[in-house]
Structure 1
Amino acid sequence: MLNDMNFKGNWRDYQARILEEMDEHFDDGRLHVVAAPGAGKTVLGLEIVRRIGRPALVFAPTIAIREQWAHRLCPLFLDTPPIPEAISRNLANFRELTLATYQALDNLRRGEELDALIEKLNYRGPLTLVLDEAHHLRREWWKCLNEMANRLEDVRLVALTATPPYDASFAEWSRYEELCGPIDLEIGIPELVRNGDLCPHQDHLILLQPTEDALALLDRRRAAIGSLHMALRQDDGLLDWLAEHPWLTESEAHVEEILEAPEMLSAALVLLASAGRELPRPPLKLLGVSARDVPPPSLFWLERFMDGVISQHTADFPLDPARLKTLRDRLNRHGLIEGGRVRLQHTRSVFKLMTSSLAKLDSIVDIAKAEHDALDDDLRMVVLSDHIRAGELPNRPDAEFKPAKLGVVPIFEKLRRSGIADEYLGVLTGSLVILPKRALSMLPHVAEELHFDPGNFRASDLPGCPDHVRIECRSGGTAEFVRLVTALFTRGEVRILVGTQSLLGEGWDAPALNSLVLASNTASFMLSNQMRGRAIRIDPARPSKVANIWHLATVDPEDRESWDAVVSTFNWGCLNDGGAPGLSDIEVIARRFKAFEGISNGASTLIEDGVARLGLDPSKPAAFANLKTFAAAADRPAIAERWKVSLGEGAERAQVRETAAPRYAPRALSWFDTLQALGWSAAGSGAFAAANELRGLASYEGIGVIAMGLAGVATLASLPRLAKAGRLVWRNGSLEGSLESVTRVVLRSLVDADLISGRELDTAQVEIRTSLDGRKDIVLTGVSRAAERQVMQAIAEILGPVQNPRYLLVRNSWLGLKKRVDYHAVPAALGARKENAERLAELWRSGVGSSKLVFTRTADGRRTLLRARASSFAAGYQRIVDRRSVWL
């Protein structure tokens, strides 16, 4: 069958590029391709299998996706359907093309049949192993697949996915990359839009206020946290006990324990300082800070202290039982303990309260009205939610509508009662299907077109919704339901469809969809990208389709969860919201927007990820922002034009690149070198001029000659340092220069360590771009995707907060009488071997600024590491490096 296959169509530009470059990426036996939904991964995968020319074993996450491989063969590759003997769906019956699910393989593992399968495959000879949508791999599936891939003697592995788990933990990503290999080629959404394979689209964010109940809860939490902190500051017994703690009185003797929880020592100092207590010298000396460096109190530090004494560090900080019980009871009473941990910032319960706010129902109605006004009969809207809430269906027409929680049925009922396209409103979930009565006349006709038995579907009245009916399928097949309702939706018999993201979020194909409302709480890269992928497919029936994707966020206008709100209640005069933000509704949206790239709402032609591209002004009321959003969404031709202009700015083969956006750069290194060298030079020049004047006075002639000699020596001595300083200023004279220098040092270090091919160094280009939110993006082009990712990871470690590296780069400098110390972690990839760390330090000194390499696994090194981890003491967690993506 493989010999008979021949693609009947024309390859898209990016598909042709992948096929052209595929052989060079098989050096490690793996080809890892990331392609956005709609890129034609299945067709591409079949062609790769054909070109490799080996029998292929294809794994897919679901039966539906598995069957796509069989359906694409004819007529795209074969004139007639393949003979049954050529394709198998049974792992026990291996053929030229064997299609299976990950679950089927896991069943073999559970039945202890995996060894037999691997032996059988090795006996048959060379094999192609295809992993489709590999982001679905559960831990158990990953284990057996990884075992299979490692034990197969002659295998080429092809991994195809739309949404790699970029937001996974380091351990999860490492497992994923270990199996699939580094990403070799990536096809982003902008490239697909430019090629006409996805439609122009824009994301829109609607802001809404919490309900009164939610605001009241946030007010109570704010007051509880404020009174808790005041009580701690006034508890002399607690403060005396804390001041006499061994970590604070004998810090040097407890370095190892402190290194296990350095934030606990910092939190204790913050509390003592906020109470006006004199801070003990030993911990300040150990941390290398002064009392004025101790930051003011914040939710972050208060939470760290309370969680330490209540839960995490009770062995090192043992409160007396009575005080411990009193504090725990107080925290529990106000809901400030969750899962056994103290949570003063955004808790899971507050998160659910905000994300599930019933105020979103009104926003969904507003969106539906705006889209109906703009599109009328052409409207094809889908609203996705997390839960069905079938119990919320009314039992009579005049029943009062008082939903308890957000969900499919409450959204349906709110839309139905609003009267917006209510005759075209339906519900599609795995267990509940509702259609308007007017669509019943078309149901038999559509069922016959799909080769379904019309008698298999039964309609029953809904007492509380007289114009709608519930549809049930006698065969109980969800797949039939989905195809039937999708056909009705495409025809316009249903124009607003409410469903669950679990059913319609992935694999559902309805090109007519032109307005998507994400009333879901998911923030994961994978699910967000899959849900959006439903809306941005091209519609052959409407070539000018432009899609709107709507996101909803509940925001507290007074931010009652912030430290500012807490302290303003008690007028403490310390307004610092230190620490990392918690998981709020807007935080979910921000995480979601990092999963995809899009156009700006303003004049910028950048295509990048992040909420900043929407151009929202946080200083303006939510109502003002929403009016601008609705106006932008209504002008679909303008959205299409912005895509056209922005895409025109990209190169012919522009692609999505991973970037690093540091909030910190070692600008001070070159600057302090410069100041010091220029200072020596200025002093020498000044002394030389003064001595020359003295020489003109007869009585001071001898002294003047000596002074000129000394000044000349000083000036000459400063020249090498001045030359170095001038070179560093020339290279690092701006923030952009510093970031570029760091990037080139990292790239060279990785090449010298044989972690990246030397060819990458010859073609690499570094660019520092200003993003829409004003931050600087480090963009590395001319290198492979794997090299790009490795460089960005190393930069994130060097410029981010110090964790627990084997080596540190330490820089001591002076500005006037003030000594400054900067710390940078040597990336794990380079710190694993001493010679690689030393090479990085050598390149750093010549390219960025003078630094000392410190090994942190000695006694002195551990103390240095502790100071490094405390170096962001006053700044909280401001040293953050965001990993972003841009199209260029």
Structure 2
Amino acid sequence: MKNNLFKDLQFIFPWRSYQKDLLTNFSTHISDDHFHVIAPPGSGKTVLGLEIVKRIGKKTLVLAPTLTIRNQWEERLQNFFTKEHFESVSFDIKSLSNINFSTYQSLHSFYKTFNNKDAYYTYFKDNGIETIVLDEAHHLKSEWWKCLYELKQSSLYTVVALTATPPYDSERTELTKYFQLCGEIDDEIATPDLVKEGNLCPHQDYVYLSKPSDIEINYIVNFRRKIAEFIDELKHDQEFKQFIYNHRFYKDPTENIDELYANPEFFSAIIIFLKSCNEIIPFEKISILGFEKEDEVEIPRLTNTWTELLLQHIINDKLNLPEYEHYIITLEKKLKKLNILDHNKVNFIGNNRIYKSLFSSPSKLKSIVKIINYEYSHLGNKLQSVILTDYIRNEFINTSEKDIKNINKLGVVPIFQNLRISIDNKNILAVLSGSLVIIHASLLGEFYLNENTDYYTTKALECDSEYVIISGKSNTKSRMVAAITHLFEIGKIKILVGTKSLLGEGWDAPSINTLVLASFVGSFVTSNQMRGRAIRSQINNPSKTGNIWHLACIDPTIEDGGRDLEILKRRFDAFLGISNTEDVFISNGFDRLGLPKTITLEEVDSINKQTLKSSSNRHNTTKNWEKAIFKGNKLGRELKHFFEGKKQYPVQKKIYYNDAVKYALVELTITLSIFLPEFLLKNLHVLLNKGIVYFIYSILAFLGLNFGVKTYNAIKLYLQFGMIHKDIEKIAHAIFETLYELQHITTEKSNIEIIVTLLPQGDVTCSIKGANQIESNLFINALNEILQPIENPRYLIAKNIWYRKKLSIQNYFPVPKIFGDKKERCLIFLKHWSHQMGKSKIYYTRNLEGRKILVKARLFHISGAKKQVTKKSIIWK
């Protein structure tokens, strides 16, 4: 074994308890030459990375996304691990030492200089590099990923990956590549542990809603109206109907069976469209979808989603329809004119035009002003606020005060201009971005205390001479950022407007207590990095709390608030925080904020008023963190299955139950008390002439005709929807038992508990307690696969019970990939499934009969295929 090159390095401070736990497990995790750690901002990720490098003890290349973060690594090494200057360090990738700090960009540029890639691999091997550290590893996509992955494949390297947020919102191929390079996640430092230890301050997320302008509302309403008119025209368009009738799927489905089974939703859309036109559809056309009886077919109504799907498939299929080329081109022109077709994608929601305007709606400028003024009224001189956005918008730099209300874009300058005319104390406001720096003229003396005046030039702002624009030479950018940050940290600047590209990652200003995220460009990762600026604790300020504000503009034509709010909800999957509910808990996801599921324009003001009120009670935020941290000891995975009824769950369940028993009891009583005497009088001669047995048969026939059909339908509904939470519990145990038998779970069985909870609104949550992180992920992922709408699994599973077949309520479920890759494993799952759910059967879907069943199973889910059925969460328990 080689000598440890870094044995003389020693961390000179005590480790936090969560850091100690992570390092205790390090030797187990590193056995596969990978160590992949999720560590939130403020967890000491850099010093942990250096300790890991020290323990591995081999020549190391540390890579970071920016020069600022690269420099932090060297600074932490020299100040935290040695009392004397450590010499064996290099910043130059072309001149390697024992420990080397560089950026991904530098490595990629270096990689491109090699025509012969073998020479690139050999260079690092000859220089003895054996460990590669990937800081902020979520940046590793595309080209940066390629030059590293090829290097990793060329020799046996130990790879250490550190990130605050894995890029879960990336495309599946990108995410796969990410894990190929970094390895599976080995350990995670939990935000509650950081708050508990004082590394992060108590904090809360708030959403401030805005209403679109009248112009924006009119545009949206007109867009929706035009789509409705277009669909109505389409239903009366004889040429389009003739085209549908002549399409090979409808004209001769049996001749195109394989292709049809590969695209059942296209054929379904054809049937649904024709039905909406009141066309008669022969049953033999529909039977191809797996239906055996005409009365079990319930064709859904035509919706925007089905029409969108129909048109999308027609456009995708145009190469197979040369005889209709001219007609399809005409149709495409019509769709483009309506702004429905963009880059060959049919979109009835209007993402590109409507939601770009909502994302950057000028209504958000008013929201920012209200938030800052409210926070300033409560915090006074304690306010330290940062507003981060995407663009600078220099075109508004000289906007006069009377024209500021006409600014129609979101950006650094528009935000600055709106705040400039609305705050009383103007010298607390400043701008810091890569190309624009503005401060109040009264702060110039402070700025130049530690700066050379020869490096900078200043110019008064034309629209307001109280402010000056500071410009520096090209090599002074980092000094300027440091100088403005210093003015912010000492409280001379209290409101700082900047770009997320400059301040979103790697920038450190622990005094921030109010952060407004006015950004709509970027990933979950970027959002989490920006949020991390406000939640760091501050030395000498143990009572610090952080408020993080998110902005959303409501679409009044969409019940759940529209696309802007939807994107924000998805981003919250990357945020772990405290709930804003009576029973406080720590979790990721948007639901923890307790906002209504449906939002109208009329409700926006009252919701905002309540949000502002909550934000002012920072002491309550601290108390809630303390309370919630006490409830748990580690992060666990949880799956939530959403209730899909039209009414609230207790009401819907009661309806199903009442319907199932009502006709068996109530109507029976009514029938016997009201109608039976009349029946007896009218049929007395039957009793006298044909006897009691015949008479009883007559009564039973009478009762059956009166309410037998209703009873049948009610029982069918109850069996299908009324017991979902009980089914989820049984499915969860079947998955657990299978994972255990296949040895994917090795934790002692008696230490593990499956917890299924039926929530008041009808949603069901399921979690596994006592399993390790990898086991927990396998369990939750398998359960999620089963409950999701069916796509294209190798095997399906269904209860093999006679009354379900008779009632036509056969529910099919996909067998999870982890069990469905081989038949032997699938049969083990069938055994445990049958034990929990009752006698069941598996269906192989890769033959003709199996494809038919798969199509039928998919149709069962197709109406909800666009909806989110389940959601994976992280929760502190």
TM-score by length of 2: 0.86
Q: Which residue of 1 is the match for residue 764 of structure 2? A: 776
Aligned partner of 1:536: which letter?
A: I
Cα 1:58–1:166 shift into 2, 3 Å: same
1:32-70, Cα deviation, whole Å (9 max, x unpaired): 110111000110111112122222221212222112111
**1:377 aligned onto 2:381:** yes
1:686-715, Cα deviation, whole Å (9 max, x unpaired): xxxxxxxxxxxxxxxxxxxxxxxxxxxxxx
- Superposed, 1:160-171 pairs within 5 Å as 160-171=162-173
Offset, 1:217: 0.9
Q: Which residue of 1 is the match for residue 455 of structure 2? A: 456
**1:850 aligned onto 2:821:** no
Q: Which residue of 2 is the match for residue 740 of structure 1? A: 729
* Aligned pair partner of 1:594 in 573, 587, 601: 573
Q: Which residue of 2 is the match for residue 407 of structure 1? A: 411
Q: Which residue of 2 is the match for residue 91 of structure 1? A: 93
Q: Distance in 2 between matches of 1:28 and 1:733?
A: 47
Q: Which moved more, 1:508-517 or 1:26-35?
A: 26-35
Q: Does the 8 Å CA contact 1:523/1:591 hold for their aligned counterparts?
A: no
Cα 1:319–1:632 shift into 2, 3 Å: farther
Q: Does the 8 Å CA contact 2:318/2:325 hold for their aligned counterparts?
A: no
Offset, 1:585: 0.5
Q: Distance in 1 between matches of 2:788 and 2:404?
A: 54
Q: Does the 8 Å CA contact 1:798/1:827 hold for their aligned counterparts?
A: yes
1:10-48, Cα deviation, whole Å (9 max, x unpaired): 111110001111111123221111011100011011111
- Superposed, 1:785-824 pairs within 5 Å as 785-813=773-801, 814-815=803-804, 817-824=806-813
Q: Does the 8 Å CA contact 1:295/1:873 hold for their aligned counterparts?
A: no
> Residue 129 of structure 1 aligns to a residue in which SS?
strand
Q: Which residue of 2 is the match for residue 685 of structure 1? A: none
Q: Does the 8 Å CA contact 2:789/2:862 hold for their aligned counterparts?
A: no
Offset, 1:443: 0.9
Q: Distance in 1 between matches of 2:554 and 2:389?
A: 19
1:477-536, Cα deviation, whole Å (9 max, x unpaired): 322221111111112221111111111111110011111111111462201110100001
Q: Which residue of 1 is the match for residue 663 of structure 2? A: none
Offset, 1:231: 1.0
Offset, 1:779: 1.5
Offset, 1:659: 2.3
Cα 1:227–1:649 shift into 2, 3 Å: same
Q: Which moved more, 1:821-830 or 1:200-209?
A: 821-830
Q: Does the 8 Å CA contact 1:303/1:343 hold for their aligned counterparts?
A: yes
Q: Distance in 1 between matches of 2:327 and 2:722?
A: 55
Q: Distance in 2 between matches of 1:737 and 1:420?
A: 60
Q: Which residue of 2 is the match for residue 282 of structure 1? A: 284
Aligned partner of 1:540: which letter?
A: I
Q: Does the 8 Å CA contact 2:456/2:470 hold for their aligned counterparts?
A: yes
Q: Distance in 2 between matches of 1:505 and 1:643?
A: 25
Q: Does the 8 Å CA contact 2:265/2:862 hold for their aligned counterparts?
A: no
- Superposed, 1:66-81 pairs within 5 Å as 66-81=70-85
Aligned partner of 2:502: which letter?
A: L
Offset, 1:244: 5.0
* Aligned pair partner of 1:629 in 603, 606, 611: 611
Q: Distance in 1 between matches of 2:131 and 2:757?
A: 41
Offset, 1:98: 1.7
Cα 1:108–1:541 shift into 2, 3 Å: same
User: Aligned Cα RMSD in Å?
Assistant: 2.9
Offset, 1:803: 1.3
- Superposed, 1:218-229 pairs within 5 Å as 218-229=220-231
- Superposed, 1:580-591 pairs within 5 Å as 584-591=563-570
Q: Which residue of 2 is the match for residue 686 of structure 1? A: none
Aligned partner of 2:489: which letter?
A: T
Q: Does the 8 Å CA contact 2:373/2:423 hold for their aligned counterparts?
A: no
Q: Which residue of 1 is the match for residue 816 of structure 2? A: 827
Q: Which residue of 1 is the match for residue 622 of structure 2? A: 640
Offset, 1:542: 2.0
Aligned partner of 1:308: which letter?
A: H
Cα 1:795–1:437 shift into 2, 3 Å: same
> Residue 178 of structure 2 aligns to a residue in which SS?
helix
Offset, 1:876: 4.7
**1:174 aligned onto 2:153:** no
Cα 1:879–1:376 shift into 2, 3 Å: closer
* Aligned pair partner of 1:608 in 587, 604, 612: 587
Gaps of 5+ in 1: 563-580, 666-670, 676-728
Runs of 4+ in 1 over 6 A off after TM superposition: none
Q: Which residue of 1 is the match for residue 357 of structure 2? A: 353
**1:102 aligned onto 2:119:** no
* Aligned pair partner of 2:275 in 263, 273, 276: 273
> Residue 7 of structure 2 aligns to a residue in which SS?
helix
Q: Distance in 1 between matches of 2:761 and 2:361?
A: 28
Q: Distance in 2 between matches of 1:12 and 1:103?
A: 33
Q: Distance in 2 between matches of 1:523 and 1:293?
A: 43
Q: Which moved more, 1:324-333 or 1:857-866?
A: 324-333
Aligned partner of 1:132: which letter?
A: D
Q: Distance in 1 between matches of 2:278 and 2:321?
A: 21
Q: Does the 8 Å CA contact 1:399/1:464 hold for their aligned counterparts?
A: no
Offset, 1:322: 5.8
Q: Which moved more, 1:113-122 or 1:134-143?
A: 113-122
Q: Does the 8 Å CA contact 1:421/1:495 hold for their aligned counterparts?
A: no
Offset, 1:367: 0.5
Q: Does the 8 Å CA contact 1:118/1:151 hold for their aligned counterparts?
A: yes
Cα 1:541–1:859 shift into 2, 3 Å: same
**1:308 aligned onto 2:296:** no
Cα 1:522–1:593 shift into 2, 3 Å: farther
Q: Which moved more, 1:6-15 or 1:786-795?
A: 786-795
Q: Which moved more, 1:429-438 or 1:456-465?
A: 456-465
Q: Which residue of 1 is the match for residue 701 of structure 2? A: none
> Residue 536 of structure 2 aligns to a residue in which SS?
coil
- Superposed, 1:646-665 pairs within 5 Å as 646-651=628-633, 654-655=634-635, 657-663=636-642
Q: Does the 8 Å CA contact 2:819/2:826 hold for their aligned counterparts?
A: yes
Q: Distance in 1 between matches of 2:842 and 2:512?
A: 58
Q: Does the 8 Å CA contact 1:384/1:517 hold for their aligned counterparts?
A: yes
Gaps of 5+ in 2: 645-652, 658-718
Q: Which residue of 1 is the match for residue 490 of structure 2? A: 491
Q: Distance in 1 between matches of 2:759 and 2:505?
A: 31
Q: Distance in 1 between matches of 2:800 and 2:275?
A: 27
Q: Which residue of 2 is the match for residue 528 of structure 1? A: 527
Q: Which moved more, 1:799-808 or 1:229-238?
A: 229-238
> Residue 391 of structure 2 aligns to a residue in which SS?
coil
Q: Distance in 2 between matches of 1:94 and 1:58?
A: 11
Q: Which residue of 1 is the match for residue 507 of structure 2? A: 508
> Residue 821 of structure 1 aligns to a residue in which SS?
coil
Q: How many residues align?
A: 796
Cα 1:222–1:830 shift into 2, 3 Å: same
1:142-181, Cα deviation, whole Å (9 max, x unpaired): 222222223323x322111111112223222221111111
Q: Which residue of 1 is the match for residue 477 of structure 2? A: 478
Q: Distance in 2 between matches of 1:741 and 1:229?
A: 44
Alignment identity in percent? 33
Cα 1:114–1:607 shift into 2, 3 Å: same
- Superposed, 1:177-188 pairs within 5 Å as 177-188=179-190
Aligned partner of 1:59: which letter?
A: L
Q: Does the 8 Å CA contact 2:404/2:418 hold for their aligned counterparts?
A: no
Aligned partner of 2:16: which letter?
A: R
Q: Does the 8 Å CA contact 2:273/2:307 hold for their aligned counterparts?
A: yes
Aligned partner of 2:249: which letter?
A: W
Q: Which residue of 2 is the match for residue 431 of structure 1? A: 435
Q: Distance in 2 between matches of 1:476 and 1:415?
A: 31
> Residue 598 of structure 1 aligns to a residue in which SS?
strand
* Aligned pair partner of 1:861 in 850, 854, 862: 850
Aligned partner of 2:540: which letter?
A: A
**1:131 aligned onto 2:134:** yes
